[in-house]
Structure 1
Amino acid sequence: MAERIWISRVSNLVRRIVRHYGAASAGSIAAIGLCVALCSSAAASSSALFCVLVPHFKDEYWLSVGYGLEQEAARQNVELLFFEAGGYRARAKQIEQLGSCTKRRVDAILIGAVTSDHPDLTEAIAQAARNVPVFGLVNELHADGLSGRIGVNWHEMGYAVGRYLAERHPEGSPLKTAVFISGPPEAGWTSPLETGLRDGLAGGAVAIIEVFGADTGLRQQLALVETALDHHPNADYLIGSAPAVEAAIGLLATKADPNTPLLLSTYISHTIMRGLMNGGVLATAFDDPVLQGVMALNQAVSVLASERSVEVVGPDIVLLTNSDKNLVDIRISPPEYFPDIH
């Protein structure tokens, strides 16, 4: 049975994120000593050692991916080293982390790439793959030498949201407007997501009047929300990334204007789940990030055992709405979970 979601308005998770990102300098110094200890213990252990590289954990979505990885790693006797680049524009940092993982002689590298096709990163991945199996994790990635990838079709993620709105406002009904707030253009998922959203809206009576994009940290997405609502105060809908919708929830709560836009998210997070359950969020596309973590770990273990590369696989995409009766059965990471980052 799926785990029941823990609902807490101010959770341990929030406090841990604040502590982590508020003490980055001290954490960097401590990580040096921790790295020595981890490397020594890994050398003495018989368990496999995997590196997991992600854009950042400021977006709660990645916490659920990390949780799925850790849960399955414990079952499979695999040790994980988590690294975050710091954002979708931290390409050089992620390349550096690839090199560090290769030098550690880890058994596999799982990478949530900050860009899908920039030649600097794809070449670094190809070089790393000559020495250690490399697996794409969640994000679109066009690199040579991958041993596998777990992920979903982000066109379908956008399409699910667009189709929902098109059915809610079919062609011939009064025209509704929407602003769309997404991630940065260099992220591999943003372009197919927008294309899918527009394809889903086709034949309906909802029009996207402006698109905004930036890194998916809460601060950057909040700035976009403020700009979008300033430009289009009468928009009927705000469609956004999970951090954008989270920012919109907080911003709109401070306003007395009853004509605020209805909110839809293009993917899940803890805040989005709470919003669905309390009615503040209308709908979201759900690609089961916990299961993607589990599948990624299983894929890497399987490929290492067989030495055969595999094709892209991932969970089915479903649309969750605030009227669904089974929201309490949807699994995301517990509110107190935050991975150890190196």
Structure 2
Amino acid sequence: MIKIVQLRLLLLVGFSLLSPFASATDIVSPWLIEQRTPYNEIQQQTSALQLTPLTSAKKSWRICALVPHLKDTYWTGIDYGLAQHAKQLNLKFELFEAGSYYSVQNQLRQLDNCMKHSFDAILLGSVRPDLLDLYQAPITKPVIALVNRLNHPKVNTRIGVNWYQMGYIAGKYIKLQAKHPVNLALLTGPDKLGGSDLVEQGLSTALKDSLVTVSAVHHADNNRNLYRDELESLLNEQIPDYILGSAVAIEAGVSMLRQHQLTDKVKLISSYLSPAVLRGIYRGKVEFSNDDQVVLQGKLAIDITVRELEGAKAFGDIGPKIQSLYSGHISNEVLKTSLPPADYYPIYRVNTEY
């Protein structure tokens, strides 16, 4: 009990002490990352790498970042890493959010704006993998995929993790825990957008020849109220043994299970991490979460973009190693690599004149 209290205090102190921009000493140690091959494939081989972060850039490059939304701490964590490292390297940086995974035209307009103005490179967190096929104007600047898959012959670098593996790892955890037949309900995110489809594919592979049956699949945009509606519908139909969902869905699930007095009957599995999911693990309300180290992903994206602008070859698929978090198995680095500070508000511009 004392150890649990100490861990909770450490978590709270960590959130309170982290500032929007960490000190320069944070970038001295090498980043532990993975290279994945073949590029842009669903099933890949990985090799461990160490990359020492840049401490300066040859010029104040101007980088445009496009993301689907900033509705949850996944993308605000990405933004935090991007803005932090852009400031450390004295870059000019601007970020634009489409508004949702369904805002294809808005993101195309933002892409066109970045392509036609004085940016040196574009980091594209695409709302759909074929977005560049829908873009009618010439692609005249380097485009690097950010988090989400981007299918285009001119894109040869993606910063992020393999979302098929995110589903596979979560599925293996459930499979190992299931000692008798159990039902699993899914609320993975927008239908076939972002990483949702790949998570479901990886999960399906992991659960082959298991005691786990997928008893329901629900999809919704990353909005807590929408997920509450989906959870209400689900719990009216059945009481599954496990619910696997996006962090936003699992956050809603904690309160919904409490409301229905099902906290001890249904186990919650999150496909990715958020501060509320981490608190849920500490408090015994969430069983498991993947952690793909989004702050590190943001920093790495800026670093790789600068390296390529300064002559490096394409890096292919590169990103952090996916961590597994559950009670008694939480990395001491989680507050540094995976979550923005508790009081962080998204930063849209760094070192710009307006």
TM-score scaled by length of structure 1:
0.80
2:183/2:242 contact within 8 Å kept:
yes
CA drift of 1:125 comes to: 5.5
SS of 1:312's equivalent in the other structure is strand
| 1:89 matched residue in structure 2 | 102
CA drift of 1:189 comes to: 1.6
1:277/1:327 contact within 8 Å kept:
no
Aligned mate of 1:104, from 114, 117, 133: 117
| Structure 1 gap ranges (5+) | 10-45
**Correspondences of 1:238-277 after superposition (within 5 Å):** 238-257=243-262, 260-277=265-282
Q: Letter of the 1:122 partner, please give it.
A: L
Structure 1 pair 162–7 and aligned structure 2 pair: CA distance change class (3 A): farther
SS of 1:314's equivalent in the other structure is strand
CA distance in 1 between partners of 2:241 and 2:264 (Å): 8
CA drift of 1:6 comes to: 4.3
What per-residue deviation string (whole Å, max 9, x for no partner) do you get for residues 256-294 of structure 1? 346541101001111111111221111011111111111
Structure 1 pair 326–295 and aligned structure 2 pair: CA distance change class (3 A): closer
| 1:58 matched residue in structure 2 | 71
SS of 2:320's equivalent in the other structure is coil
Matched, 1:340 2:347: yes
Bigger shift: 282-291 or 319-328?
319-328
Aligned mate of 1:48, from 57, 61, 72: 61
CA distance in 1 between partners of 2:342 and 2:213 (Å): 36
Q: Letter of the 2:317 partner, please give it.
A: V
CA drift of 1:112 comes to: 0.8
1:178/1:239 contact within 8 Å kept:
yes
Structure 1 pair 282–87 and aligned structure 2 pair: CA distance change class (3 A): same
CA distance in 1 between partners of 2:309 and 2:14 (Å): 40
What per-residue deviation string (whole Å, max 9, x for no partner) do you get for residues 238-273 of structure 1? 110100001111222323346541101001111111
CA drift of 1:220 comes to: 2.3
TM-score scaled by length of structure 2:
0.78
Q: Letter of the 1:263 partner, please give it.
A: L
1:147/1:308 contact within 8 Å kept:
no
Structure 1 pair 325–306 and aligned structure 2 pair: CA distance change class (3 A): closer
Q: Letter of the 1:168 partner, please give it.
A: Q
Matched, 1:323 2:332: no
SS of 2:72's equivalent in the other structure is coil
CA distance in 2 between partners of 1:329 and 1:84 (Å): 26
| 1:155 matched residue in structure 2 | 164
CA distance in 1 between partners of 2:288 and 2:182 (Å): 17
| Structure 2 gap ranges (5+) | 1-9, 16-58, 350-354
CA distance in 1 between partners of 2:107 and 2:330 (Å): 41
CA distance in 2 between partners of 1:265 and 1:65 (Å): 18
Q: Letter of the 1:109 partner, please give it.
A: I
| 2:44 matched residue in structure 1 | none
SS of 2:316's equivalent in the other structure is coil
1:160/1:200 contact within 8 Å kept:
yes
Structure 1 pair 244–148 and aligned structure 2 pair: CA distance change class (3 A): same
Aligned mate of 1:123, from 121, 133, 148: 133
CA RMSD of aligned residues (A): 2.3
What per-residue deviation string (whole Å, max 9, x for no partner) do you get for residues 55-81 of structure 1? 111121111111111121111111221
Structure 1 pair 294–200 and aligned structure 2 pair: CA distance change class (3 A): same
CA distance in 2 between partners of 1:139 and 1:71 (Å): 21
Higher helix share: 1
Structure 1 pair 337–153 and aligned structure 2 pair: CA distance change class (3 A): same
Aligned mate of 1:310, from 309, 312, 315: 315
Matched, 1:281 2:286: yes
CA distance in 1 between partners of 2:176 and 2:264 (Å): 22
Structure 1 pair 49–147 and aligned structure 2 pair: CA distance change class (3 A): farther
CA distance in 2 between partners of 1:94 and 1:198 (Å): 31
CA distance in 2 between partners of 1:311 and 1:113 (Å): 17
